[in-house]
């Protein structure tokens, strides 16, 4: 499958929402700037609910720390809600060549590690070459379909 380069993060997020909606998920985009740190997407599917913070970069950054619009507050929100909620809280980092999903309990350790090494070094991290493959993984992993 050829790589797709999105023009902005919202376009990437909207593609994820559209693909997951077709799979039967209900997703809500949260873009209210008054609600600091709340992830970009909340989702429900197969009696499961959770959150996804979406980041899109023109090229895969060296580490999560190199994403200038990924804040410590966002990390803490995902980790806190993941620990006491359903556990379905994720950071999704996309680029034209790779898509990395980091579960809440891997975020603290993942922040300073090279992104290319995360899937090999930490449990709770998945990498796919296309955004479509990532949507398939999300659907199978989270909703067990």
CATH, residue 29: 3.40.1350.10
Pairing type for strands 99-103 and 125-128 reads: antiparallel
Residue 90 lies in a domain: yes
pLDDT at 145 (0 to 100): 43
Distance of alpha carbon 92 from alpha carbon 134, whole angstroms:
9
The reply to whether the predicted model has a pTM over 0.85 is yes
Q: How many domains does the chain fold into?
A: 1
Residue 18 lies in a domain: yes
pLDDT at 59 (0 to 100): 93
Pairing type for strands 89-94 and 99-103 reads: antiparallel
Residue 79 lies in a domain: yes
Q: What is the pLDDT of residues 17-56, one digit of tens each?
A: 999 999 899 999 998 777 789 999 999 987 889 999 999 9
pLDDT at 144 (0 to 100): 55
- Domain carrying residue 66: 9-143
């Amino acid at each position: 499958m050829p790589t797709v380069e999105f023009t902005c993060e919202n376009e990437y997020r909207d593609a994820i929402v559209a693909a997951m909606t077709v799979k039967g998920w209900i997703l809500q985009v949260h873009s209210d700037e008054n609600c600091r740190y709340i992830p970009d997407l909340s989702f429900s599917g197969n009696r499961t609910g959770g959150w996804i913070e979406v980041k899109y970069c023109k090229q895969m950054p060296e580490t999560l720390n190199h994403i200038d619009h990924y804040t410590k507050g966002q990390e803490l929100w995902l980790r806190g809600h993941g620990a006491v909620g359903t556990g379905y809280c994720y950071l999704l980092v996309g680029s034209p060549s790779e898509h990395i999903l980091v579960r809440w309990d891997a975020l603290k350790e993942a922040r300073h590690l090279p992104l290319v090494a995360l899937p090999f070094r930490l449990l709770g991290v998945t990498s796919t070459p296309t955004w479509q493959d990532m949507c398939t993984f999300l659907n199978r992993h989270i909703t067990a379909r």
